[in-house]
Amino acid sequence: MSGLDLLQVQQLAVDFADAGQTVAAVRDVGFSLAPGGRLALLGETGSGKSVSMMAVAGLLPENARVRGSIRWPALARPPQLGRDVGMVFQDPMSSLNPVLSIGEQIAEVGMTHLGHDRPQALQHVRSLLERVGIEATDSRLAAYPHQLSGGQRQRVAIAMAIAAGPKLLIADEPTTALDTIVQAQIMALIDTLVRDAGMALLLVTHDIALARSIAQHGVVLRHGTVVEQASMDAIVSRPAHPYTQSLIAASLDVDRPVPARAAAPGGPVPLLAARGLHKTLGQGSAALQVLRGVGIDLAVGETLALVGGSGAGKTTLARIVMRLTEADAGAVSLDGVDLLALRGEPLRLARQRFQMVFQDPLGALNPRASIGRLLADPLRLHGFDHGAAAVEVLLRRVGLDPALAQRRPHEVSGGQRQRVNIARALATRPALLVLDEPVSSLDVSVRAQILELLRSIQQETGIGYLFISHDLAVVRTIADRVAVMADGQIVETGPTAEVIANPQHAMTKALLLAAPRLGRQFAFEGVPQ
């Protein structure tokens, strides 16, 4: 269909002036978007995709210098934010004003751009809420952001973005902060809304599978420049540039065949056995039963994945196993020894055998300690040699340069930090490692490297992993068996390949449906709303 493009970007370059220095963020970026077209800006952290998007929107901070041309041929006049262009950001909690009701915040758009008075605006709000799947009751309109769930908040953000009927919807990592199942629901919603209104979509994401499922064309960015630009079809099945190829290879795809795994060595006694765990958090009317009679088994050298949506109880189970939280009832044994009965010094000594890698790599490291000291601590506490040489061994084992021992946690990258966390956990040569969403917050290519590292360590040492994740694609590449949790109970368990091929429980099926796939496009039917 010929006609004017909605958006034409040519030779875009953005620099930032920071304390007297100039940092180049984006160089020579160009792309175009037809009315109703869908384009994805793809890249990892620091690729310049967000900066390019903010330049298009005109929302760059004051110290930014923009060169090149950004034109809107199909529009009669310069685009106005809110009216011609609607935006949805990554974190819905911080993107909403905490002191105004959601009704107010959505109504503002109509009152500013459509000339609504209050009653008209509120009526408009009601119809918008229905379109985005939130019941338009009075109490909902008067609710505040913190009273809604993450998914609901993002729906409100979407309602605000489409309120004035824009020609273009810009979505910046709209689902990264959300649970897997909710992610799928939100993407389905965006797909429907954009299609129904004939809006163009500019999606900024690091997730190729996500982009493939909804966008027609993609622009791959790296270090501020365009590396490849083609239809999403071509990018996924025939990537031309080596960087794109590595991204595709590193991407998670639940359908992609995985190399066969050597069977776990096993042993007479399970490494970890939990039975009948109960835990209730909170008191009185606000009490929540987080665990309701949960039991798992982990054999020596095996990887058991614990999957489920947020709130299913996975982290609580992990904390009970790690003796960070006390269970209300139940038993846990490690190597046949009753773990929950240990206290004081015997517990301290036993900790040498089981360690944990936490979810947020930065939060798990003492900001004031050097990496060397952080690694020496476990060695010292359990009577191992804790000199510089020992620390160097640990660093090399996880693929890090020993020179990093002098640095502090905030001075290294996210991937490096997670390696430090792993190194620290492995320092005492434990038999069991509990990993709580260890790769969720990492970039795509780094994710694959960390998973590979974990695999190779398991090959070498026969360590057992209890691997918590909400993402089946990750689980598929690393777990021997998987246990699916929902509502505080284990609802399905079995060898990974089998569970994925023949899911029995509704939750398993929902997780599978919501998992990222490179081969799928516009196939969001069947996702429970």
Partner 1 sequence: MWRRFVSSREGMVGLCLLLPIILAALLAPLLSPGDPQAMVGPALLKPFADAAFPLGTDRLGRSVLAALLHGASASLIVAAAAATGALGLGTVIGTVAGFAGGRTDEALMRLTEAFQAVPGFILALALVSVLGPSLGSVVLAITLSSWTGPARVVRAEILSLRGRDFVDAYRVLGMRPMQIAFRQVLPNALPPVITLAAVVVAAAILVEAALSFLGLGDPNRITWGRMIAEGRAVLRTAPFLSAIPGIAIIVTVLAVNLVGEGINEALAGKRVAA
Partner 2 sequence: MIPVWRIVGRRLGNAVPVLLIVAIGSYCLLELAPGDAVDAYLSGSGGDAGLVAQLRQQWGLDRSFATRLTSYLLSLLTLDFGWSVAFSRPVREVVLDRMGNTLLLMSAAVALSFSLGTLLGVAAGSRPQSWRDRLLSWLSLALYAAPGFWLGLMMIVAFAVKLSWFPLGGIATIGEPRAGLEHVLDVAWHLVLPASALGLVYLALYLRLMRAGMVEAWRSDYVRTARAKGLTRQRIVWRHVARNALLPVITMLGLQAAAMLGGSVVVESVFAIPGLGRLAFEAVTQRDVPLLLGIVLAGTVLVIVINLLVDMAYAKLDPRVLVS
- For 258, half-sphere exposure in the C-beta direction (CA atoms, 13 angstrom radius) is 25
- Cβ distance to partner 2 smaller for residue 45 or 80: 80
Residue 263 near which of partner 2, partner 1, none (CB within 5-8 Å, type-dependent): none
Task: By CB under 8 A, name the binding residues for partner 1.
Answer: 322, 324, 347-349, 351-352, 355-356, 358-360, 362-369, 377-378, 381-382, 409-410, 424, 428
- Cβ distance to partner 2 smaller for residue 10 or 147: 147
The residue from 46, 144, 234, 407 that contacts partner 2 (CB under 8 A) is: 144
C-beta atoms surrounding 33 within 10 Å = 22
Residue 348 near which of partner 2, partner 1, none (CB within 5-8 Å, type-dependent): partner 1
146 binds partner 2 (CB under 8 A): yes
| Cα 92 from Cα 133, distance rounded (Å) | 16
3-state SS of 155-221 is HHHHHHHHCCCCCEEEEECCCCCCCHHHHHHHHHHHHHHHHHHCCEEEEEECCHHHHHHHCCEEEEE
Residue 207 CB, nearest approach to partner 2 (Å)? 21
Residue 237 near which of partner 1, partner 2, none (CB within 5-8 Å, type-dependent): none
Here the tokens at position 491 are 């609802």
Beta bridge partners of 8: 32, 71
Residue 435 near which of partner 2, partner 1, none (CB within 5-8 Å, type-dependent): none
- Cβ distance to partner 2 smaller for residue 113 or 223: 113
Indicate the residue type of 273: A
- Cβ distance to partner 1 smaller for residue 269 or 324: 324
Residue 147 near which of partner 1, partner 2, none (CB within 5-8 Å, type-dependent): partner 2
Place of tokens 């540039």: 241
Residue 345 CB, nearest approach to partner 1 (Å)? 10
Residue 94 near which of partner 1, partner 2, none (CB within 5-8 Å, type-dependent): partner 2
| Cα 346 from Cα 280, distance rounded (Å) | 27
Residue 274, H or E segment: strand 272-281
Beta bridge partners of 434: 356, 466
- Cβ distance to partner 1 smaller for residue 107 or 431: 431
The residue from 57, 230, 258, 362 that contacts partner 2 (CB under 8 A) is: 57
Residue 25, H or E segment: strand 21-33
Distances (CA, A) of 182 to 21, 462, 515: 42, 36, 11
- Cβ distance to partner 1 smaller for residue 108 or 437: 437
| Cα 341 from Cα 169, distance rounded (Å) | 56
C-beta of residue 215 within 8 angstroms of C-beta of residue 192: no
Residue 403 near which of partner 1, partner 2, none (CB within 5-8 Å, type-dependent): none
Residue 241 near which of partner 1, partner 2, none (CB within 5-8 Å, type-dependent): none
Scanning residues 154 to 173, which ones bind partner 2 (CB under 8 A)? 157, 160-161, 164
Residue 299 CB, nearest approach to partner 2 (Å)? 43
| Cα 56 from Cα 71, distance rounded (Å) | 9
- Cβ distance to partner 2 smaller for residue 112 or 440: 112
- Cβ distance to partner 2 smaller for residue 94 or 231: 94
What lies within 8 Å, CB to CB, of 447 at 6+ separation is 250, 252, 439, 474
- Cβ distance to partner 1 smaller for residue 331 or 342: 342
Residue 98 near which of partner 1, partner 2, none (CB within 5-8 Å, type-dependent): partner 2
Scanning residues 68 to 107, which ones bind partner 2 (CB under 8 A)? 80-83, 86-87, 89, 91, 94-101
Here the tokens at position 273 are 């056995």
Here the tokens at position 170 are 């810009």
- Cβ distance to partner 2 smaller for residue 140 or 419: 140
Residue 82 CB, nearest approach to partner 1 (Å)? 31
Residue 434, H or E segment: strand 432-436
User: Could you give phi then psi for residue 33, rounded to 5 degrees?
Assistant: -135, 125
Residue 351 near which of partner 2, partner 1, none (CB within 5-8 Å, type-dependent): partner 1
Residue 122 CB, nearest approach to partner 2 (Å)? 16
C-beta of residue 496 within 8 angstroms of C-beta of residue 503: no
Residues in the chain: 529
Residue 81 near which of partner 2, partner 1, none (CB within 5-8 Å, type-dependent): partner 2
C-beta atoms surrounding 252 within 10 Å = 24
C-beta of residue 106 within 8 angstroms of C-beta of residue 65: no
Residue 352 CB, nearest approach to partner 1 (Å)? 7
Residue 332 CB, nearest approach to partner 1 (Å)? 15
Scanning residues 262 to 291, which ones bind partner 2 (CB under 8 A)? 286
C-beta of residue 397 within 8 angstroms of C-beta of residue 426: yes
User: Could you give phi then psi for residue 86, rounded to 5 degrees?
Assistant: -110, 145
Distances (CA, A) of 211 to 173, 221, 236: 10, 14, 10
The residue from 9, 102, 109, 210 that contacts partner 2 (CB under 8 A) is: 109
Residues lying near partner 2 in the complex (CB under 8 A): 57, 59, 80-83, 86-87, 89, 91, 94-101, 108-109, 112-113, 144, 146-147, 157, 160-161, 164, 286
